[in-house]
Amino acid sequence: MATEALSGEAAALPFDDPRALAAVSLIWREAHLLDARRYEEWDGLWTEGGEYVVPIDRDTTDFAATLNLVYDDDRMRRMRIERLTGGFSISAAAAARTVRSVSRHVVTGRDGDAIEICSAQVLVGYKREETFVLAADVTHRIVFGTEGPGISRKIVRLVNSEEAVTASGFLL
């Protein structure tokens, strides 16, 4: 994506930019759907060919050439949803309950029909009588089409991405 680089004051979320507000609204809706485990609706927020990435190396930008916790295209994302909702896998049988907060939205790029927003996500989960907290820097690329905004890429950079990760039973 050829983007207009933004820095300093220009990087703050411009509240007079309707695209930025629509993108943040979509990001908040996504968080609500994920916490409610409404994964089929969540999948409907994505554009065709959208990528969902959770890299191990927080600094990588070449996801195809590096090892990732998650690197899903449309097909893999839908298979992941099937595992979470089908009831036949351990992740579905012992699904975690989650509540997440997404804030600190900053516009980091703009390109014709797309906007890139970085934010912070704090997720509190409860699974098997244990509570846990995950924090991440998240980058969304939101594309604006004839049917409104859609997620074309989501990169979740966990603060502890290089630590051991157990089966989660939820989506980031």
How do residues 94-129 score in pLDDT, each as one tens digit? 678 999 999 999 999 989 899 999 999 999 999 888
Quote the pLDDT of residue 163: 86
- Choose from 56-60, 96-100, 151-155 the range with maximum mean pLDDT: 151-155
Alpha helices per DSSP H over 61-117: 74-85, 90-93
Burial code (b: 16+ CB inside 10 Å, e: under 16) for 138-168 equals: bbbbbbbeeeebbbbbbbbbbeebeeeeeeb
Quote the pLDDT of residue 10: 47
Does residue 6 surpass a pLDDT of 90?
no
Instruction: Calculate mean pLDDT across residues 146-156.
Output: 96
Quote the pLDDT of residue 39: 95
Does residue 2 surpass a pLDDT of 50?
no
**CA gap 114, 152 in Å, rounded:** 9
Domains of the chain from N-terminus onward: 17-158 (3.10.450.50)
Does residue 88 surpass a pLDDT of 70?
no
Taking residue 8's Cβ as centre, other Cβ atoms within 10 Å add up to: 6
Of 91, 67, 68, nearest to 79 by C-alpha is: 91
Does residue 42 surpass a pLDDT of 90?
yes
Quote the pLDDT of residue 17: 80
Point out which residues pair with 135 in neighbouring strands: 122
Global confidence as pTM: 0.88
Residue 172 and residue 123 in contact, taking contact as beta carbons nearer than 8 Å = yes
Instruction: Calculate mean pLDDT across residues 47-71.
Output: 95
| Token couple for 66 | 């590096």
Helix (H) or strand (E) holding 37: none
